[in-house]
Structure 1
Amino acid sequence: MGTAIILIKLIAAHLVGDFILQTDKLCADKFSNNKAFRYRALSVHALVHAALAYLFVAQWNNWAVPLVIGASHFLIDLVKTHFKRKDLVGFVCDQLAHYCVIVVLWLIVFANHDYNQAAKILSANFWLIATTYIAVLSPTSVLIKSFIEYEKWLPTDASLKGLPNAGKWIGYLERILILTFIFTGNIEGVGFLLAAKSVFRFGELNRAKDIKTTEYVLIGTFTSFTIAIMLGFGVDWLMELNFE
Structure 2
Amino acid sequence: MKIITCIKQVPASSNVQVDPITGVLIRDSQNVKMNPFDLFGLETAFQIKSRVPNTLVHAISMGPQSATQVLKEALYMGADEATLLTDRKFAGADVLATSYTISQLVKHIHEYDIVICGKQTTDGDTAQVGPEIAEFLGIPHVPYVKELIEVTPEYVIVKSAYDQYEEVVKVELPCLLTVEKDANTPRLPSFRRSLLFDNYKINYVTFKDLEDQNENHYGLNGSPTQVDEIFSPDKSMHSTRFEGDPQTLSNQLVEILKDKRFL
TM bucket (normalised to shorter chain) is: under 0.3
Structure exhibiting the larger radius of gyration computed from Cα positions? 2
- Greater fraction helix: 1
Higher strand share: 2
TM-score by length of 1: 0.28
